[in-house]
A = this chain, B = another copy of it.
Amino acid sequence: MLPGVGVFGTGSTARVLVPLLKAEGFEVHALWGRSEEEAGSLAKELAIPFHTSRSDDVLLHQEVDLVCIYIPPSMTRQIAVKAMGIGKNVVCEKAATAVDAFKMVTAARYYPQLLSIMGNTLRFLPAFVAMRQLLVEGYVGEVQVCDVRVYGPSLLDRSYGWTCEELMGGGGLHTVGSAVIDLLSHLTGARARRVHGLLRTFVQQNGAIRGIRRVTSDDFCFFQMLMGGAGPVSGTSSGVCCTVTLNFNMPGSFVHEVMVVGSTGRLVARGTELFGQRNGSNGEEQLLVDSGWAGPGAQEMPLPHLRGLSSMVKALRQSFQAHDERRSWARAPVATAPTFEDGLYVQTVVEAVKRSSCSGEWECVEIMSQEPDPNQNLCEALQRNKN
């Protein structure tokens, strides 16, 4: 039996997600927005019976068993952790910091019976499902290099907001790069050990953002990851070099290309389609055709993310459908979804890339295993005073 859904957020993802949920048979009972007006307006547009600007009203809503959180990164941790505390299943977007991500992991470990997945939808995109399968089957041999490029128009909102602020989780690296980082570890079965990166904000002001305000989030980001350790995908033991180029100063275009080069061949996902070439063959073969997108949302988000979101909602339906009880779910259909642990890894890599961009050096990726003591500075100061 499908659970009732409560949605947090009034942005483009929420706007696309609600029709997708409804199409799969989910009932969306409640919508949260930062203001009553925003929530009311979108609730009316999407025919959601209840809207509010108080988060508890959604979290405590009787009919809501699954909470989908698509709000600014800095607010995500608070809602996600609270939702789990109340016993709700959670699908959510990335947090703003590794500390936030760690707190979400702690909550997810504490409530293992609850569904808790990161809403990075690229893993669900059929092209990447097929790519991963082919990698496991050895299509490219030993994986050597992954090369990812995402080019598109500015990610900034029309008005000044979190998307302009690096510390609020804005910028190409945090917004788009994190999905790529997650995807690459999913595809290769390995995790980044060391990263090197360069971030730039080429457009620091525009018509809407001016005066003393400046954009601090990156619109160009370029990073490398050295992946290590043998993973589930055979032959990644000797290490894979990943290079990722993100450029959001290219209005009027959208390029989303993920290439994996190995010892005996290569695979390339261009947008939502998959191509491959084995060494020795004369040309590329198309391995997955995309017949186009007929549903809504094509104006709101790039096709790979849209189609991935749609596939994730389908997987959620299968997961919940398997059980009679509204809050119970089966693990298999969402087994490949990113967990909160994956979210912590991604956030850790993002922060290492940012550190590298400042230091100019390769930075190690060290996953937090213990929450940093918020009073550490205070303790150290006291300690110093004592001596």
State A144–B196 Cα separation when bound (angstroms): 20
Q: 0/1 per residue, A72-92, Cβ < 8 Å to B?
A: 000000000000000000000
- Please choose the segment from A24-32, A125-133, A250-258, A344-352 that sits at the chain B interface, where 4 or more of its residues have CB less than 8 A away: A250-258
A235 to chain B, nearest CB (A): 12
23 contacts between A and B (CB under 8 A): A144-B202, A144-B249, A145-B220, A147-B149, A147-B245, A196-B196, A198-B241, A202-B263, A220-B241, A222-B241, A222-B243, A243-B245, A247-B261, A249-B261, A249-B263, A250-B261, A250-B266, A250-B277, A251-B280, A252-B277, A252-B283, A253-B277, A360-B362
Which residues of A approach B to under 8 Å, CB–CB? 144-145, 147, 149, 196, 198, 200, 202-203, 220, 222, 224, 241, 243, 245, 247, 249-253, 261, 263, 266, 277, 279-284, 360-362
Contacts of A147 in B (CB 8 A): 149, 245, 247
Copy total for this chain: 2
Contacts of A220 in B (CB 8 A): 144-145, 241
Contacts of A249 in B (CB 8 A): 144-145, 261, 263
Interface centre among A251, A280, A281 (most CB of B within 10 A): A251
Contacts of A251 in B (CB 8 A): 279-280
State A193–B241 Cα separation when bound (angstroms): 25
State A224–B223 Cα separation when bound (angstroms): 10
Q: Residue on B with the closest CB to A362?
A: B360
A238 to chain B, nearest CB (A): 9
A147 to chain B, nearest CB (A): 6
State A80–B220 Cα separation when bound (angstroms): 43
Contacts of A361 in B (CB 8 A): 360-361
Q: Residue on B with the closest CB to A281?
A: B252
A352 to chain B, nearest CB (A): 14
State A253–B281 Cα separation when bound (angstroms): 10
Q: Residue on B with the closest CB to A238?
A: B202
State A261–B243 Cα separation when bound (angstroms): 19
Q: Residue on B with the closest CB to A282?
A: B252
State A280–B252 Cα separation when bound (angstroms): 7
A209 to chain B, nearest CB (A): 15
Contacts of A243 in B (CB 8 A): 222, 245
**8 new A-B pairs (CB below 8 Å) besides A251-B279, A253-B277?**
A198-B241, A203-B263, A222-B224, A249-B263, A251-B280, A252-B282, A360-B362, A361-B361
Contacts of A266 in B (CB 8 A): 250
B279 touches A200 (CB 8 A): no
State A361–B279 Cα separation when bound (angstroms): 34
A224 to chain B, nearest CB (A): 6
Contacts of A200 in B (CB 8 A): 144, 241
State A284–B255 Cα separation when bound (angstroms): 13
State A241–B219 Cα separation when bound (angstroms): 13
Q: Residue on B with the closest CB to A239?
A: B200
A250 to chain B, nearest CB (A): 6
State A362–B149 Cα separation when bound (angstroms): 23
Q: Residue on B with the closest CB to A243?
A: B222
Q: Residue on B with the closest CB to A253?
A: B277
Top 8 closest pairs, chain A to chain B, by CB:
A360-B362, A144-B202, A251-B279, A222-B243, A145-B220, A361-B361, A249-B261, A252-B281
